[in-house]
Structure 1
Amino acid sequence: MTDATGIVAWIGAALAVVSMALLFARLRRLPRQDTASGELPRVSIVIPARDEEQNLSRLLPSLGRQTVPPHEVIVVDDQSSDGTAEMVQTHGARLIRGRELRSGWYGKPWACHQGVEASTGDWLLFLDADVELEADALERLLSAAAAEPGAVFSVCPWHRIERAYEELSVFFNLLMVGGIGAFTWRGDQATGIGLFGQTFLVSRKRYGELGGHEAVKQTVLENLKLAKKCEELGIPRRCFVGRGSISMRMFPGGYREMVESWAKGFSSGAALASPAALLLASLWLTGLMMVTVCVFLLVVWDARVMVGAAYLAVAIPTAILFRQVGRFSVVNALLFPVSLLFYQGLFAVAVMRKRKKVSTSWKGRHVD
């Protein structure tokens, strides 16, 4: 049994490392480009905001520090109960008082739709309120748009970790990045490439062709549904990770907020993910679980050297990968079974809730 446990651990390690390498083979950051010789597009920034006073206190000042200023910044106050409106006015952005949620719509698409109605830019940049931009981030995004005006662009922000419970988000983050299928070994040649919802840049012309947010008005992960429409129309998608350009602090409200946030998108995310990326992600998690189970078996069977070596063979590249998507600690990577089991447990709960048709709430609204 000792030898068998060690062999299974190494099979799991090999499966995890190979599938991880294929899934994240072409992780790329937003490039820096020379913009001296070209005119950049006029961009309207649209920010849907429901009780986002704290987050806007970081995002709006970061927009004011951009090396290339936006044409306009529009914040749609979606029936907030905090000081969202006052924060917007303090920082000089344009405030849109969101109308009552229309029947058949979810909150975020409805707020984005209203923001677009009020905008005048040639390009539209949709930002979640919890992101923050480095000074040259907008210039880099618009440079990419100017170089390929027919494409749409999205960035998954780098996750700023400030409290210990946020470390548990790491596999959710990684599967969000890997699941869109933009960073596999096939790169931009892959089919079914998705889009990130936190930072989404599209020309007004392309936005109209996609049907705008009205086409995804009752979708939890509207970014993935818009990506499907891009695929149908042959519109290229260009995706990046945000390290060094765009970051986010997702869950300042505590552990419960984190659990509710990740739980609301499980089913929709799996259904809309790239099939190839979903397969690789499944193999990766399977390999990690095989190693994890073998570690627990050491309580009964003695295969410390073989299992320990397999464990390190997984933990080291995992630590490197963790840092590509957020400020996740080395300790988190070395103890990856903890975050992995948290992910698996929450996934199981979300699936059971879906089968029992238990509605998930987010900020006081039902989302499925």
Structure 2
Amino acid sequence: MNTTFIVLSVLGCGIASVAMLLLFMRLRKLPTRTSNKSQVSIIIPARNEEKNLAKLLPTLKAQSFDPLELIVVDDQSDDATAAIAEAHGCRVFRSGELPPGWKGKPWACQQGADAARGEQLLFLDADLELDPGTLARISAHAETFPDVVISVCPWHRTEKFYEQLSVFFNLLMVGGIGAFTLRGSRATGIGLFGQMMWIPKSIYHMVGGHASVRGAVLENLHLAGLLEKAEVPRHCFIGKGSLRMRMFPEGIGQLCASWSKGFSSGADRTPVFAMTLAAAWISGLMLTSITLLALPFAADSARLFILGSYLWVAVALAILFRKLGSFTFWNALLFPVSLFFYQGLFALSLIRKRGGNPVQWKGRHVA
């Protein structure tokens, strides 16, 4: 029996370690080179975002070069979203009624793009904040690679305990995009992060813009699929040192609703290789966690293997956590808590989806 415990713990550790290495092998930040030559229109879809805009817009004003224009699409807000945007010098476009067949965010983005004057379009979520020089760094990369679409996953800033539970959702969002495996940006099926996308206007119109993904919940992944078919490369980066966000300040209910929304349509848009690695990684982590239950029954030698395997995985996770957000060492050391929370919410989301129960987001049914 002790041999079985040792084999299971080492197997779980090995699977988790190899899969994690392959899935996140090429995590990369934005290059440091800067440029201020791009004529970019920044488009921010906003529905009841007065608090977030008050944080985002000053960070845009503090950039080393000014964009051509800042467009805030007020998506039928009932707070001071429009007033905050106007006070910061933005061009405010008040969204029309949501047409049949459209989701809210694609509709807002499409209206902003139609009104934009720039040769480049930068779509930003309202809950982001930019570090100084970020626009110049993105602009420089766009000049070096003029025919690519650029997307950055924000560094996840957390403040309260429940936000730590989001860690595996974040990790799988990053890994599932397929951009950071062994092949890097040469991989097929690479997605886009929904929070930030820089795209030449000519390419945007070529694939039909957001109108082509009007009914999609995760419009970023569906748009990436159209770009893949058009053979347009996608370059993805992690946002540490350039772009950050606090996703769920309103409580654990907001966290659950947001990730449930993503579960509804994300899996079928994940590249097969990345999906396989992600499944292997989660399986290895689960096995490593479950073997802890054998500690009371194992001999001393087996306990050393079980605890050693567990600590190896926890330390590797702690290093990865810090690359993607302000997730604590304790979160990594007690990773089964966040892992089983992820698994539980995933299962609940599948049950809700099969039962036809809609997911609500910002007062609208999204799935």
Deviations 1:165-202 (A, max 9, x none): 10000000000000010000111221111111101000
Q: Is the Cα contact below 8 Å between 2:153 and 2:238 reproduced in 1?
A: yes
Change (3 A) 1:97 1:7: same
Query: In 2, Cα distance between the equivalents of 1:300 and 1:258?
Result: 38
Indicate the percent of aligned positions where both proteins have the same amino acid.
53
Q: How many residues are paired up?
A: 365
Q: Tell me what 1:350 maps to.
A: 349
Q: Tell me what 2:319 maps to.
A: 320
- The amino acid across from 1:42 in the alignment is Q
Structure 1 residue 297, shift from structure 2 partner: 2.9
Q: Tell me what 2:8 maps to.
A: 8
Structure 1 residue 299, shift from structure 2 partner: 4.2
Q: Is the Cα contact below 8 Å between 2:34 and 2:139 reproduced in 1?
A: no
- Which blocks of at least 5 consecutive residues in structure 1 are unaligned? none
- Which blocks of at least 5 consecutive residues in structure 2 are unaligned? none
Q: Is the Cα contact below 8 Å between 2:39 and 2:119 reproduced in 1?
A: yes
Q: Is the Cα contact below 8 Å between 2:148 and 2:235 reproduced in 1?
A: yes
Structure 1 residue 298, shift from structure 2 partner: 2.3
Q: Tell me what 2:204 maps to.
A: 207
Alignment of 1:145-294 (within 5 A): 145-294=142-291
Alignment of 1:2-41 (within 5 A): 2-35=2-35, 40-41=37-38
Query: In 1, Cα distance between the equivalents of 2:42 and 2:214?
Result: 20
Query: In 2, Cα distance between the equivalents of 1:124 and 1:188?
Result: 21
Query: In 1, Cα distance between the equivalents of 2:53 and 2:99?
Result: 25
Query: In 1, Cα distance between the equivalents of 2:256 and 2:128?
Result: 19
Deviations 1:227-259 (A, max 9, x none): 111110110100000000000110111111011
Q: Does 1:123 align with 2:124?
A: no
Structure 1 residue 301, shift from structure 2 partner: 4.2
Q: Is the Cα contact below 8 Å between 2:34 and 2:138 reproduced in 1?
A: no
Q: Is the Cα contact below 8 Å between 2:34 and 2:137 reproduced in 1?
A: no
Structure 1 residue 2, shift from structure 2 partner: 2.4
Q: Tell me what 1:339 maps to.
A: 338
Deviates more, 1:167-176 or 1:265-274: 265-274
Q: Tell me what 2:78 maps to.
A: 81
SS of the counterpart of 1:103? coil
- The amino acid across from 1:327 in the alignment is S
Q: Is the Cα contact below 8 Å between 2:34 and 2:133 reproduced in 1?
A: no
Alignment of 1:89-100 (within 5 A): 89-100=86-97
Q: Tell me what 1:71 maps to.
A: 68
SS of the counterpart of 1:44? strand
Structure 1 residue 329, shift from structure 2 partner: 0.4
SS of the counterpart of 1:67? coil
- The amino acid across from 1:136 in the alignment is G
Q: Does 1:112 align with 2:106?
A: no
Deviations 1:45-104 (A, max 9, x none): 000001111111110000000001111010011111221112112211111111111111
Query: In 2, Cα distance between the equivalents of 1:275 and 1:121?
Result: 36
Deviations 1:192-237 (A, max 9, x none): 1111110100000000011000000000111101111111011010
Query: In 1, Cα distance between the equivalents of 2:240 and 2:99?
Result: 37
Structure 1 residue 112, shift from structure 2 partner: 0.4
Deviates more, 1:148-157 or 1:348-357: 348-357
Instruction: Give the TM-score, by structure 2 length.
Output: 0.98
Q: Tell me what 1:307 maps to.
A: 306
Structure 1 residue 40, shift from structure 2 partner: 2.0
Query: In 1, Cα distance between the equivalents of 2:68 and 2:249?
Result: 30
Query: In 2, Cα distance between the equivalents of 1:297 and 1:109?
Result: 50
Query: In 1, Cα distance between the equivalents of 2:94 and 2:296?
Result: 60
SS of the counterpart of 1:317? helix
Q: Does 1:297 align with 2:294?
A: yes
Query: In 2, Cα distance between the equivalents of 1:56 and 1:116?
Result: 19
Deviations 1:122-145 (A, max 9, x none): 000000001100110000011111
Query: In 2, Cα distance between the equivalents of 1:34 and 1:108?
Result: 30
Query: In 2, Cα distance between the equivalents of 1:224 and 1:81?
Result: 29
Query: In 2, Cα distance between the equivalents of 1:146 and 1:228?
Result: 23
SS of the counterpart of 2:244? strand
Q: Tell me what 1:138 maps to.
A: 135
- The amino acid across from 1:343 in the alignment is Y
Change (3 A) 1:308 1:52: same
Structure 1 residue 6, shift from structure 2 partner: 2.1
Query: In 2, Cα distance between the equivalents of 1:83 and 1:252?
Result: 18
